Copies of this chain bind each other. A is one copy, B any other.
């Protein structure tokens, strides 16, 4: 991976086309709109245990992968840009939501807390770890789209964890 030049400003556009025919499964095609269009078939379903057909992942499973992958992508990219050597890393994410009854038929939902535990290995100085995670959070398109204050990060340091807030 060559170190990419930073442009002053750029935009990203992703579009999804969802079709649902009567049960919980939704066929979603997602397009990355750029000079070259790239498309992905990412259907969603609910598990049989809660009334779906279990033919595809839950929407919230995709959500958690998006948050996990977007942060690791920025940790990787920004480590190159900052000349901070980084080999293996592990990012574990936990997302908890609640739903409360709104009336006798419906519920309203809300996020409770999302935690992101980042392990950048034992070789990197703690100051570099903190700098890299802080930068990657600001670059992460998914985290920057979320309600402020939901996401908390923890950083592996030696045998313990540092709460970064």
Contact = CB atoms under 8 A, between A and B. Distances in A.
Interface of A: 1-2, 4, 6-24, 26, 28, 30, 32, 34, 36, 38, 40, 42-44, 46-47, 49-51, 57-73, 75-78, 81-82, 87-102, 104-112, 114, 135, 138-142, 144-148, 150
B92 A15 contact: yes
Interface of A: prevailing SS: mixed
Given A14-B61, A22-B88, A60-B142, A6 B107 contact: yes
A145 B146 contact: yes
Contact of A81 (B47, B106, B109): B106
A64 B14 contact: yes
A124 to B, nearest CB: 14
Contacts of A38: 47, 49, 58
A123 B71 CA distance: 43
Contacts of A72: 18, 20, 26, 44
5 contacts: A11-B98, A28-B64, A34-B49, A59-B67, A109-B144
